[in-house]
């Protein structure tokens, strides 16, 4: 009896499902979800009063109560409209709800054989995104865990493509591969190079933070066939800056290299007609990533990795083993062939359901609204004599300084905002100077909310 208790349909199982769904329903539909804040390990142990993992178990009612009243309040609500630090998330109601369906349905998204329907839906989303980015109809890829895995998978594919190109030309392979990116590129690109045992060529950006073609040309001319990829950023995390993608892409007319666009945060802005021109040149990329759990309003964790020529990803990543022969010997599209991950949940389905539910126009309007709010609050910051914009915002990140403040002042101010549950806004820095920033992605964030935060800095 005990051996099947956890899996059998029973009154106990029904009660568990009912309790979890009721909690989820209340949480998803609540209009006043708190920001919450972390607790120390000592305080959590005190509140729990002992171990939660025991031989007999706590039972579902008590375990759910522990989560609801002790553990969940010690986690920041990253989808809160006043969570304005790092890069927030703001999943739609439809996406959150369907994430429950994905888990409840026992779906595996690694192969066509096991998840044809789910893979088809994910591929429809990938095709939609590829078309938005101007890539050919043949482009495709896979949803992976996040931007780090997406960048790593793309750069591995770039290295394998460079290796094949040199070998086909009868050339020797370099002792170490090199990856070109801006000094302001996301740290995950440097992490990927470390995993690949490759070197990173950090090319200086301009004073405005933009990586331009001339600097990349110098690196390509000097290092030639040692370079397996050039990474351009489509919206930096710290400032939301977009590199000169068009200029860098034009270098493909002079040099042979794989162009990867790290658009984890910012590439979503292409859904807004007003921003499309900023990303000219993306259509020439060999690979791109964008994180739907950021500005495409999907739940954690979800990154869309798209190859211009998906076969390049498949050649680099298909795993071979006797037990996998039934999957790899055919021509079916199996998502696990396109990244370093074999086991995968169909994490693109919540985004598919949300897009299918609300339509693309709703997404365009939501992205455009956050960009408009960014410009409006930037104007407000310019109007305040005690505040200084560090850079004019390009997408939806505003970085500014409170004149005369040191890091300790920002720390005290930030802690007070969270303690009072007014907002989550952490200090940042640029070129050794402390500052702070608003990362605006949630359509529920209002101008009045942001003005109220600025008023606390007077």
**DSSP-derived 3-state class of residue 182:** strand
**pLDDT tens digit sequence for 402-444:** 999 999 999 999 999 999 999 999 999 999 999 999 999 999 9
Handedness of CA 305, 311, 312, 315 (dihedral sign): positive
> What is the pLDDT, as a whole number, of residue 2?
82
pLDDT at 327 over 80: no
pLDDT at 28 over 60: yes
> What is the pLDDT, as a whole number, of residue 425?
98
Task: Give the span between the Cα atoms of 102 and 105, in whole angstroms.
Answer: 5
**pLDDT tens digit sequence for 297-313:** 999 999 999 999 999 99
Residue 68 gets which letter from DSSP? I
pLDDT at 330 over 80: no
Dihedral of CA atoms 224, 288, 376, 420 in degrees, nearest 10, equals -110
> What is the pLDDT, as a whole number, of residue 258?
98
> From the DSSP assignment, how many helices (H) and strands (E) are in the chain?
16, 11
**For the chain, what is the mean pLDDT?**
95
Provide mean pLDDT across the span 357-376.
98
pLDDT top residue among 327 and 197: 197
| Residue 66 CB burial class (10 angstroms; 0-12, 13-18, ≥19) | middle
**pLDDT tens digit sequence for 138-194:** 999 999 999 999 999 999 999 999 999 999 999 999 999 999 999 888 889 989 999
> What is the pLDDT, as a whole number, of residue 329?
64
Residues 211 and 203 sit within 8 Å (Cβ to Cβ):
yes
How many Cβ atoms from other residues are within 10 Å of residue 313's Cβ?
Answer: 28
Provide mean pLDDT across the span 281-291.
98
What's the pTM?
A: 0.95
**pLDDT tens digit sequence for 59-111:** 999 999 999 999 999 999 999 999 999 999 999 999 999 999 999 999 999 99
> What is the pLDDT, as a whole number, of residue 324?
56
**DSSP-derived 3-state class of residue 147:** helix
**DSSP-derived 3-state class of residue 79:** coil
């Amino acid at each position: 009896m005990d051996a099947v208790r956890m899996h059998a349909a029973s009154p106990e199982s029904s009660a568990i499902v009912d309790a979890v769904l009721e909690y989820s329903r209340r949480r998803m539909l609540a209009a006043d979800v708190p920001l919450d804040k972390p607790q120390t390990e000592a305080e959590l142990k005190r509140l729990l009063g002992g171990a939660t993992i025991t031989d007999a178990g706590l039972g579902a009612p008590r375990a759910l109560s522990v989560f609801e009243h002790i553990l969940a309040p010690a986690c920041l609500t990253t989808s809160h409209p006043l969570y304005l630090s790092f890069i927030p998330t703001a999943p739609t109601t439809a996406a959150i709800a369907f994430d429950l369906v994905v888990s409840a349905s026992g779906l595996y998204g690694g192969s066509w054989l096991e998840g044809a329907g789910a893979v088809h839906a994910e591929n429809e989303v990938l095709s939609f995104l590829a078309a938005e980015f101007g890539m050919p109809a043949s482009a495709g890829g896979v949803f992976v865990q996040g931007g780090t895995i997406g960048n790593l998978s793309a750069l591995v594919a770039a290295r394998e493509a460079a290796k094949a190109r040199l070998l086909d030309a009868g050339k020797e392979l370099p002792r170490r591969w090199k990856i070109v990116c801006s000094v302001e590129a996301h740290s995950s690109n440097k992490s990927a190079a470390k995993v690949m045992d490759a070197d990173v060529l950090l090319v200086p950006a301009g004073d405005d933070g933009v990586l331009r073609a001339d600097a990349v040309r110098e690196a390509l001319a000097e290092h030639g066939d040692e370079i397996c990829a050039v990474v351009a950023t489509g919206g930096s995390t710290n400032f939301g800056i977009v590199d000169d993608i068009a200029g860098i892409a034009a270098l493909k007319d002079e040099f042979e290299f794989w162009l990867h666009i790290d658009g984890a945060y910012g590439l979503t802005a292409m859904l807004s007609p007003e921003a499309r021109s900023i990303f000219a040149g993306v259509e020439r990329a060999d690979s791109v990533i964008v994180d739907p759990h950021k500005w495409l309003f999907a739940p954690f964790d979800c990154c869309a990795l798209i190859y211009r020529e998906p076969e390049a990803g498949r050649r680099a990543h298909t795993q071979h083993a006797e037990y996998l022969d039934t999957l790899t010997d055919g021509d079916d599209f199996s998502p696990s062939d396109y990244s370093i991950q074999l086991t995968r949940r169909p994490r693109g389905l919540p985004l598919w359901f949300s897009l299918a539910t609300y339509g693309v126009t709703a997404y365009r309007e939501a992205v455009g609204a956050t960009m408009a709010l960014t410009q409006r609050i930037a104007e407000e910051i310019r109007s305040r004599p005690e505040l200084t914009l560090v850079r004019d915002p390009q997408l939806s990140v505003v970085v500014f300084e409170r004149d005369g403040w040191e890091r300790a002042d920002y720390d005290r101010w930030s802690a007070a905002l969270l303690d009072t549950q007014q907002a989550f806004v952490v200090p940042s820095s640029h070129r050794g100077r402390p500052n702070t920033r608003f990362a605006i992605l949630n359509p529920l964030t209002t101008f009045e909310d942001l003005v109220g935060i600025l008023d606390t800095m007077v």
